[in-house]
Structure formats: structure tokens, C-alpha cells
Amino acid sequence: MSTSRYTSKVHQREGRMALFATTPGTTTPNGYSVNPSVNGKDPSTQIDPNDIARSSSPYEAEPRRDYNAAMLSQLESQNEETVNTMQSKISALKDLSLKMGDQINQSKLNLGSLGSNMEAAGHRIRGNMKRMFVMAEKTGISWKTWLLFFAIVFLIFFWVWLF
């Protein structure tokens, strides 16, 4: 017994196709029936296009509406309030951005002066280190001895700090 794989789904397809049926008076397998007369007219006649409710399309222009003066003045006042609110927010954003720009410029100046101060401090430290090396060479004591001396001083300070 061979059956077609499509025969079991026929009842489902007929129900869906009944939704798109153009001939009134058909009955679906589920028992739903389409009304044989549309607005009391004979089903054999063509359906009037005005009787069909079309869905609105976003591309169609909406019909022109008549607004009375009160509605227009209310809409205008709402529009003015919205514009004023937007202007105040925009001016607040402008002030904030100007203050941010001033802060950024001040930070750039501070960083520039910090860089020049650090450079001057580096020169001073290099000069002090050169003078210390000259002094260490004139005493005739090797760098290992100085290292041992500073290590002992560090240990004494560390001992005092702990206890």
C-alpha cells in the first residue's frame, strides 16, 4: 500500500485556501461556511469595490482632516512648549560643551607646565648625582664600600621603624 506523502495534509491546505476563496458559498472541511450573499446581493454578480474594506497602506496619503480653531491653537501651544523645552536643553548642552572645552584647555596647560617642571627637576637631580660621583671619587672610597654603608644605614632605619 503506497500512499502519497501529500495526501495527509490536504485537509490543512483546503482550510487555508478557503480564506482566499473568491467564490462565496464554499464550505471548508472544518465546517466553516462563507455567506452566499454579500450585502443581500446575488453571489454571481461582481462584488462592489466600496464594500471591501482595504487595509491602509503607509504609502497612501491620509485624507485631509478638518481641525477647528481650538484644536489648532492647542496643537500650536504644545508645539511652542516642545520647541522651548528643546531650546533650553540645547542651550544647556552648549554650555556644558563649552565648559568641557575650557576644562580640556586648562588641563593641557597644566600638563605642559607639569612636563616642564619635571624636566627641570630631572636636570637638578642629574646635576646632584654628578656632584655626588665627583665627591665619591675624590674621597678614594670604592662604590662597593658606599653601597655597604647605605645598606647598613637602611637596615638601622628599618629596624627602628619595625620596633
The predicted-structure confidence for 110-140, as pLDDT tens digits, reads as follows 999 999 999 999 999 999 999 988 887 888 8
Of the candidates 11, 1, 10, the one whose C-alpha atom is nearest the C-alpha of residue 31 is 11
pLDDT more than 70, % of the chain: 62
How far apart are alpha carbons 105 and 111 in whole angstroms?
10
pLDDT at 20: 55
Q: How far is CA 17 from CA 13, 29, 53, in A?
A: 6, 11, 20
Taking the C-alpha atoms of residue 51 and residue 45, their distance in angstroms, rounded to an integer, is: 13
The residue among 89, 91, 70, 92 whose CA lies nearest residue 81 is: 89
Task: Enter the C-alpha cell of residue 41.
Answer: 446581493
- Its pTM stands at 0.37
Kindly calculate the radius of gyration of the chain based on its CA atoms and give it in whole angstroms: 47
Segment 31-70, tens digit of pLDDT: 545 454 444 555 555 555 554 555 566 677 766 767 788 8
Query: Is residue 57 classed as helix, strand or coil in its secondary structure?
Result: coil
Tell me the per-residue pLDDT of 12-23, one tens digit each, with 9 for 90 and over.
Answer: 555 555 555 555
Give the per-residue pLDDT at 133: 82
